[in-house]
Amino acid sequence: MVTIAEIADRIGEHICQQAGLHENQNKVCFGIEILLIMSITAFVSLAIAMIFGLFFETIAIMVAALGMKFIIGSPHLSGFSRCLIYCICLSMTGALLTHTADAWLSVPIIFFILGTDWIVLSVSPLLLSYRTLEKPQILSRKILAGSLIGVTALLVLVAKNLWTTGFFIGSTIAAITISTVHVRLIRWIDDLTKCNKSLINEKGGE
């Protein structure tokens, strides 16, 4: 079975041959793999969201979370299927929270969430897998992320609607994912699913 990585490698190799970028082939292939994974994940998530009537909520969540991800990073599960399920769960949870925000997102809760986000950003390491940052760069990214979340919270307070709420919740989800507790949970799930897969393969080979 052909994997996403193999497809990305073939496309990247062809592009590098045509453009003479052999020295950067690994980076090109990695970038293409990320784009393919993001495209497939977005398509599947939006298809599911459309079925459940959460299409625009999901778009708001994905735009905000993706923007924050480029700033602060995010944890990763090994294997495309795990990543896909993980991203769909986050997107659908955020979309459902956005859809029902009128019933639970009060002013005190907005300030509580905002404070929690700022604490997480202040104490958690960034999870940028594609580059290493110096301390001033890390600090500037954390300040930028915290400021953006603050702006989305202010927008919800001033003009609460689907988009402002979705941006706030999506940004919050992205911030929470870099917390130590969440990262440990993701690693535990990853290890657990690997073990279960190994057991299934062993039983299948008997």
3-52 pLDDT, tens digit each: 777 888 888 888 888 877 777 778 778 788 888 888 999 999 999 999 99
Q: Domain locations in the chain?
A: 1-51, 53-205
- Contact assessment for residue 77 and residue 83, using Cβ atoms and an 8 Å cutoff: yes
- 88-117 pLDDT, tens digit per residue, is 999 999 999 999 999 999 999 999 999 999
Read off φ and ψ for residue 100, nearest 5 degrees: -105, 15
Cα distance from N-terminal residue to C-terminal residue, the chain: 22
Q: In terms of Cα–Cα distance, which of 172, 154, 173 is closest to 164? A: 154
pTM value is: 0.87
